[in-house]
Structure 1
Amino acid sequence: MGNVTYDFTGEVVLVTGAARGMGREIAVSFARAGAQVAVNDVDAQVEHVPYATGTVEELAQTVADIEAQGAEALEVRGDLRREADVERMVAATIERFGRLDVLVNNAGVYSCGPVTELTEERWDVVVDTVLKAPFLCSKHAARHMIERGGGGRIVTISSTSALVGIPDQVNYQSAKHGVVGQIRTLALELAPHGVTVNTICPTAVADTAMLDHVIDLGPEYFGKVNALCGASTVFPGLDCIETRDVSHAVRWLASDAARYVTGVVLPVDGGFSCK
């Protein structure tokens, strides 16, 4: 099968959670397609998250990878759970590049456990990062898109956790299900302005910090999940998809090929959700 290519020359893309893994792949893939790219990650370790968030050095590497594609890059660190940081991030992107065409809400954390043991603090950090942050980012990106005369793309990364129930992650499940309601509502609100809003639901994605943490939870946890939910994909021998599988879907939704695709919940999940 032939390779699919996209041309985002002259467009400006903002990717959150871009220090590594899926966010870095998405950001660099847009640069490869000609876009100017602003990238964000948190500026300090997030409390109650049992794995390290993106470091200064990792985000700098993302910037270097973007520039290696011949594209311009902007690094804007900040905590997306705080509206002031989000407003500053969007404003900095527009000040540097003059516009914002595509927002990719990729930032996320995972800090879960049985409902009887889940603390309020771990509930808050997951729900605020996974659900509140994309609301704030979409709010300020949409304001700019509307004020400049309309047109734009918002893509939020959700999860197969938005489509099914999975044990021991009620905070993550609640937030990811909430993302679906969020993008469908925003799709209706922003359609008159030519802005599309969609979400992608990946299954387990290889080479990401979140998956590494889940693996560290051990075979007992995986045994419980698999017994209730089945394997992560339906393809024999395939346990995880790759970051490029997600980035391809993001670029399609951001492209003119999907100009009238909005409010869509797109599984990129190796058939997980069709079981």
Structure 2
Amino acid sequence: MELSTKVAVVTGSGQGLGLAYAKELARRGVAVVINDVDQATADTAVAEIVESGGRAIAVVAPVGSAETAERLVAAAVEEFGRLDVLVTNAGILRDKVLWKMTDEDFDAVIDVHLRGTFTCVRRAVQRFREQGEGGRIICVGSPAGQRGNFGQTNYSAAKAGIVGMVRTWAMELKRAGITVNAVCPVAATAMTETIPFLAPHVESMKRGEPLPAVIRRDVGMGTPEDAAGVVAFLASEAAAEITGQAISVGGDRLALWSHPQLTTTAFHDGGWSADDIATEWAATFDHAVESVGEEFPEEVRAR
């Protein structure tokens, strides 16, 4: 899995999952552009990578605008000569139930997660096409975007939108040799601390205590480092034929999310009136109605 000639931009990589991705890429020889909104955090991340023998620089800017996307790609090219990998990890939370969520709460999350992914991928793809050697796009999604999550209208919408864009881009960029995939990690971070029944496990991990098997396997949650291997894999030639996928990773679990598809179908000559649907629903569709939200083992929820 040779990556020592590669150059990557990892957004939101000053800490947490983004830093874990950046450090794993750097460990494998990738030159990395670190991105964060805080100068001290970004500088610390760069220092950790450099002190470990890696190559890294920092761009301090909020993700969302086309200007930031341009700065990130330009920094990679100016410092390291090219760009091969983009990991769009930057994100924020503004969790509230629907009736309390403000326009500002909604717009802030959509701007960083969804618009930021769009602007950064667009600029990276332009550079990849100029280089003519393909490239790797790795977008960070979430189980919340696949199944929804209480209090996360904005976040769930953004993460669902990211996977939708990934599937579209995989088709559009195939001929250029550019792969596009989504990684949906579950890790003990500041973000998962906001989920009440997971918070105690995050605190346990901070104290150096190992996460129990039910968390690492059944919930699929681990450390940020547990989620980093799949990013390095997708950046490598070993994943050259993998595109358009949503990959779940966390703890001891690696899995593929299915693409939405029709599960139950009925036909009615001349179309469906409301009365027809009411008659058919119980017999044909009731048993196939999908659940919402993540489903966790009872022993986890009971803690």
Tell me the amino acid that sits aligned with residue 73 of structure 1: A
Q: Which residue of 1 aligns with 2:111?
A: 128
Q: 1:273 to 1:168 in 2, by over 3 A?
A: closer
Equivalent pair of 2:20/2:228 in contact (CA under 8 Å): yes
Q: Which deviations, in whole Å up to 9, do the C-alpha atoms of 1:193-222 show, x marking residues without a partner?
A: 00000001122x11x22223x15xx56x99
What's the offset of the Cα at 1:112? 1.3
Q: Distance in 1 between matches of 2:52 and 2:28?
A: 9
SS at match of 1:163: helix
**Is 1:58 paired with 2:31?**
no
Question: Matched residues in 2 for 1:120 and 1:150: separation?
Answer: 42
1:251 to 232, 241, 249: 232
* Structure 2: gaps of 5 or more residues: 201-210, 256-292, 297-303
Give the aligned residue type for 1:25. Answer: A
Could you tell me how far apart the structure 2 residues matched to 1:100 and 1:274 are? Answer: 39
Q: 1:95-131 CA deviation, whole Å, 9 max, x = no partner?
A: 1111000001011111111101100000001111111
Q: Report the counterpart of residue 28 of structure 1 in structure 2.
A: 23
CA distance change for structure 1 residues 162 and 235 in 2, over 3 Å: closer, same or farther? Answer: farther
1:176 to 151, 159, 169: 159
- Deviation of 1:25 after TM superposition, in Å, equals 1.0
CA distance in 2, matches of 1:95, 1:196: 24
Tell me the amino acid that sits aligned with residue 24 of structure 2: S
Match of 1:115 among 85, 98, 101: 98
- Return the alpha-carbon distance in structure 2 between the equivalents of residues 73 and 165 of structure 1: 36
In structure 2, distance between residues paired with 1:195 and 1:234: 38
Stretch deviating more after TM superposition (62-71 or 193-202): 62-71
Amino acid at match of 2:230: A
User: Bigger radius of gyration, 1 or 2?
Assistant: 2
SS at match of 2:60: coil
Alignment of 1:122-271 (within 5 A): 122-203=105-186, 205-206=187-188, 208-212=189-193, 214=194, 218=196, 235-238=213-216, 240-269=221-250, 270=253
Residue range with higher mean Cα deviation, 81-90 or 23-32 = 81-90
Structure 1 residue 71 displacement after superposition: 2.0
* Greater relative CO (CA pairs within 8 A, separation 6+): 1
Over the matched positions of the two proteins, sequence identity in percent amounts to 36
